[in-house]
Amino acid sequence: MSISVFELFKIGVGPSSSHTVGPMVAARQFVRDLADRQQLQNTDRVQVHLYGSLALTGIGHGTDMAVLMGLLGEAPDTIDVDAIDHKLAQIDQERQLRLNLDKNIRFVRDRDLVLHMEEFLPQHANGMTCQAYADGELLFERSYFSIGGGFVLSEEDFAHKDQIATLLPYDFNSAKQLMELCEKHHWSIAELAMANEKAFRSEEEIKQQLWNIWEVMNSSIQRGCREQGLLPGGLNVRRRAAELYRELSKQPEEERNQGLAILDWVSLFALAVNEENAARGRIVTSPTNGAAGVIPAVIAYYVQFVHNPEKHGELKDQVAKFLLTAGAIGMLFKRNASISAAEVGCQGEIGVACSMASAGLAAVQGGSNQQIENAAEIGMEHNLGLTCDPIGGLVQVPCIERNTMGAVKAINAARLSLRGDGAHIVPLDSVIETMRQTGVDMQSKYKETSLGGLAVNAVNC
């Protein structure tokens, strides 16, 4: 399944790409499918069934909210995040929902949003089935699967997912193929990724859209450094980014740029983004919401502490190089393993984001393709086996701090690779396959179900 870098970096809403963005997209697609079938106006009831991980951690991940917003016709990249609570309250108070902002139906959340906590659909851990009724008769039913990073496949598409492809001029199925193509055409990884993106749009459009992605990431950092208070959900987790920002800002300029003090800023950037994500704010899936702070934090590190216009060129070009390189690496994980924590644990989220960020940082610091591959391999190798065990099903503990660890590891991985000549024993393809096998072998209670790990062993918060 060939994909674009803009499918890996999508503007969305928190707290989860698999459990919030995906279900919103699926519910919106369902009402559009109804309209296409000329059945929307006949519908007087809709029922949505959530299965597996979507049911077990759905409430904490905002899946219920996402489904209702999707049924209204809202999209993750355009929804007014500040209006969500009002719309939810209105639906619950009036017990009505306006499908696709067009057809009013009666909707009772406890009756029409059904959680099947002990049942998994066979295709994927994140499954949901939408049903439309008229006068008690089933009009239309379709199942959807949120497969990670906001990607959604219908039941029909899922059966043929390996055949769903966009023809790209320089397609690749493995890191080995990617490196061979780059060598053949004398390109960097970013240049090859750019050549593929130009199949869809002009180079200037690509660079501008990538810059827009960075601007949303940076806005998430800035907002996260301002907002205070407790995060929603009941754990009473206090936002820390704003206080940390004030403390770090008091440092003399010469101290900010020295040694480990820089890592405090990197941690701040990641905290800020993922506190915004936990608060259902606007973020960029990169490649998921749960890991949305890693890549922005590493880019911010590069922008504030590394980039030199005389040495590195225009910042806009460098951000494009970072995201194109990171995107190419992310595609390999998406194609050959998974970026869904419900499938492979948090190694598929923080681990993949760390690998992508490592590669991007090595690229903008002048790394060769071999050094970039080495950086990506190091970034994942030391996240293998990372479980997904959110307390209370919320993308807060340990998820927010894990983003700081992922960002710091990414910087270290890039630095290690750049100190070498690119030679390494373990190929990136082997690490990706190992990650996939580890995810298959991992017990389901450690894969975004909140049935194991910290989710059941932590002291009550």
Whether 459 has a pLDDT exceeding 80, the answer reads no
> 72-111 burial string, b = 16+ CB within 10 Å, else e?
bbbebbebebeebeebeeebeeeeebbbbeebebebeeee
Please write the tens of the pLDDT for every residue from 158-182.
876 655 555 789 999 999 999 999 9
First-to-last C-alpha distance (Å) of the chain: 42
Nearest Cα to Cα of residue 244 among 269, 220, 219:
269
Tokens 């070009």 correspond to 317
Mean pLDDT across the chain, nearest whole number?
94
Rounded-to-integer distance, Cα 303 and Cα 256, Å: 14
Residues 6+ apart with CB under 8 A from 127: 50, 51, 52, 54, 120, 121, 143, 144, 145
CB atoms within 10 A of CB 303: 17
Q: Is 260 exposed, middle or buried (0-12, 13-18, 19+ CB in 10 A)?
A: exposed
CB atoms within 10 A of CB 112: 21
Tell me what the mean pLDDT of segment 146-154 comes to.
Answer: 90
pLDDT of amino acid 204: 96
Please write the tens of the pLDDT for every residue from 96-133.
999 998 899 999 999 999 999 999 999 999 999 999 99
Whether 404 has a pLDDT exceeding 90, the answer reads yes
pLDDT of amino acid 1: 46
Give residue 128's Cα distance to chain centre. 19
The pLDDT-based confidence of 461 (bands split at 50, 70, 90) is very low
Percentage helix, strand, coil, to 5, in the chain? Answer: 55, 10, 30
Rounded-to-integer distance, Cα 315 and Cα 303, Å: 8
Cis peptide before 169 (omega within 30 of 0): no
pLDDT of amino acid 166: 59
3-state secondary structure of 313: coil
pLDDT of amino acid 2: 57
The pLDDT-based confidence of 285 (bands split at 50, 70, 90) is very high
The pLDDT-based confidence of 3 (bands split at 50, 70, 90) is confident
The residue with greater pLDDT, 149 or 399, is 399
Rounded-to-integer distance, Cα 187 and Cα 172, Å: 14
Domains and CATH numbers, the chain: 17-159 (3.30.1330.90), 175-446 (1.10.4100)
pLDDT of amino acid 382: 96
